[in-house]
Structure 1
Amino acid sequence: MSFKSKWQKTKWLLKHRNLRRHIPRTVPFNRKNLRMMLSTYPIVYFKPTGGTGGFGIIRIKKITSGYQTKPQTVKSPSPTLGHLHKKLSRFSGRKAYLLQQGISLAKTKGRPFDIRVMVQKTNKGKWISTAMCTKIGKPDKIATNYHQGGRLGYLHQTLVGAGYKIKSILRKEAALKRLGVTVGKRFDSNRRGFRELGLDVALDTEGKLWILEVNTRPAIYPWKHLKGRKLYRRIRTAARQYGRVT
């Protein structure tokens, strides 16, 4: 089952007391909210409510001479908030967009990364966090996605590269698994029919976990690129239970 509205999914998560603290500040795009977000956070992301693969995302940064936007790799200045709002409105057209608090991503060997948690439902209706990997971004890109030139990595290796010790890594892994299962149950309580979810989770420089997005039709094929394909096979085995693969 696919459900594209990022805003609706965010509202579901915000109603859960334990999940709320893991959600970056997110609001619909309009001039009032743009002013509020940029007066509160040094970096804000402008995201389509229905986009996938990191496409259509713009990073907005407040600078001395106004504001700086960065869609992919090219930076563009806006001297005033009004100029910025017009630019973003032209870019969005009639499509709905969100503004999201920017998270300062942890880095592994100098490269920013976030974490993908694959959560799947068994034929007995139980949610299980079946696999995790990291998406390691290019230094000049604003998104870590595979489609944006990022590469996949193993969680333990990536966290070692970020300076974490084994005990801390195991605690983070357990927390991510719990987070995935909790989100699965939360989605079930709002709408039936979900059998798989892909959580994009940021680990910030202070060690906190943030849910950036929940994908209801997460891609499986990029997992093939992880050496050994162990996680890919695990995901496919779980997916056979609900008929996504044969």
Structure 2
Amino acid sequence: MSASVYTLGVITCHLSKKTPPFQEAGYIKELTAAGVPFGIQLITFSPMDVDWKTRKVSAWRYDPKGKRWHKESHPIPHLIYDRCYYLTSEQYAAYKPYISRISKDSQTHLLGRPLGGKLHTHHMIQENPALRPYLPPTIKLQSSADILTALQKHAAILIKPNGGSHGRGVAAIIPEGDSFRVWGRSKANRRFHLLLHSRKTLCRWAEQFTQHSRYIIQPYLSLTTMDGRPFDIRILVQKDRSGCWVTTGMAVRTGHFSSLTSNLHGGGHAERAIPFLKKYYPPGKVSKILKSIRFLSLNIPKQIESQHGRLLELGLDIGVDRNGHVWLLEANSKPGRSIFLKTGEQDVRVQSVRLPIEYAHSLFQSLTGGSV
């Protein structure tokens, strides 16, 4: 075991008055333990708690031996891991200038630059012709008229927030004669189901549903099992110590029969990916699906980095329709790891925590010549 030589900062949104006042305390504890053999100590703080005049931060540090959190003052770390989750557009707007200040500081480096919204990420990936067949058509929702136009092109559509939402605020709109069936999850993550009887009523509902948030429109894809359960595949890709992209693991998320999404925050369940695919698809299609997944896992991170700058890890959400066609639903630069505990893949979970530490260690050495 090495004495701490490097300090890795983790920035989070402070959401409560509990100790510690942020999400992912369990993950931070695991990262702290993983950092010990590399001489890395972790401190966790809000971007709002940086004092640029003194170049100090008020931060939380976990002591694995005493199993206690300590609040301390530290110099601004040279290397920072962004784990800020924004639940609303207002929260994102409040934190944005503080994150921007950190990213522009010449003495600090982010492990990976956070992605912008879904539409911006879609445009970056779309630049690669080989990846376009895997992308659902995606446009910005600017007014309720865009919904009516999209419904002329597609049999049904999906609207979802441009920023990360964990399935919140996602809705499908399906025409039924002169009416429209609308169902999904509210921004408070409650399931809803409506039948709207005119285009005017639909437009009024959409304006209210999407207010204060930026939204995108995509065609509604039938991404369910033969018995009607929604599912998608979460793939975790990360950089190893040498900076090469590796696939750490993948797992299936399934939702309730009455649910639009399969997100775990909305009550979904996790299953191991390959047994699941073998259960619902014939062997020939399973091999093609897995080949597509390998292609996307290798090429999407490279494509985004070429347009966006350095990344550390990505969570790729993949949909598979009943014909076995693979769709990229989302790329998330701040992926969770709880799914691998739910599938019982403890070794994958351990690897998913260790790799960011190994990559951080290699960056520390390259940035500082071996000392900080």
| TM norm. shorter chain > 0.5 | yes
Q: Distance in 2 between matches of 1:240 and 1:116?
A: 22
Question: What is the Cα-based RMSD across aligned positions, in Å?
Answer: 1.9
CA drift at 1:110: 4.7
Please give the TM-score of this superposition, normalised by the length of structure 2: 0.62
2:291 to 132, 150, 174: 174
Query: In the alignment, what sits opposite 1:102?
Result: 220
Q: Distance in 2 between matches of 1:233 and 1:211?
A: 26
TM alignment of 1:68-87, pairs within 5 A: 68-72=181-185, 73-87=191-205
Query: How many positions carry a matched residue from both structures?
Result: 243
CA drift at 1:89: 1.2
Q: Distance in 2 between matches of 1:104 and 1:13?
A: 22
CA drift at 1:201: 0.7
Question: In 1, are the aligned partners of 2:285 and 2:324 still within 8 Å (CA)?
Answer: no
Query: In the alignment, what sits opposite 2:49?
Result: none
TM alignment of 1:97-246, pairs within 5 A: 97-107=215-225, 110-165=228-283, 168-243=285-360
Q: Distance in 2 between matches of 1:119 and 1:142?
A: 26
- Highest RCO, 1 vs 2 (Cα 8 Å, sep ≥ 6): 1
Q: Distance in 2 between matches of 1:59 and 1:172?
A: 25
User: Residues 204 and 90 (structure 1 numbering): CA distance in 2 closer, same or farther, change over 3 Å?
Assistant: same
Amino acid at match of 2:229: R
Structure 1, unaligned runs of 5 or more: none
User: Residues 94 and 74 (structure 1 numbering): CA distance in 2 closer, same or farther, change over 3 Å?
Assistant: closer
SS of residue matched to 2:233: strand
User: Does 2:166 match 1:58?
Assistant: no
User: Does 2:150 match 1:34?
Assistant: no
User: Does 2:142 match 1:25?
Assistant: no
Q: Distance in 1 between matches of 2:288 and 2:358?
A: 29
Give 1 or 2 for the bigger CA radius of gyration: 2
Q: Distance in 1 between matches of 2:228 and 2:261?
A: 15
CA drift at 1:119: 1.0
Amino acid at match of 1:37: A
SS of residue matched to 1:50: coil
Q: Distance in 1 between matches of 2:296 and 2:307?
A: 17
Q: Deviations over 1:57-78 (max 9, x none)?
A: 1111111132111133432122
Question: In 2, are the aligned partners of 1:109 and 1:162 still within 8 Å (CA)?
Answer: no
Q: Distance in 2 between matches of 1:51 and 1:175?
A: 24
Question: In 2, are the aligned partners of 1:13 and 1:19 still within 8 Å (CA)?
Answer: yes
Percent of aligned pairs with the same amino acid: 23
Please give the TM-score of this superposition, normalised by the length of structure 1: 0.91
Query: In the alignment, what sits opposite 1:44?
Result: 157
Question: In 1, are the aligned partners of 2:144 and 2:206 still within 8 Å (CA)?
Answer: no
Structure 2, unaligned runs of 5 or more: 1-112, 186-190, 362-372
CA drift at 1:208: 0.5
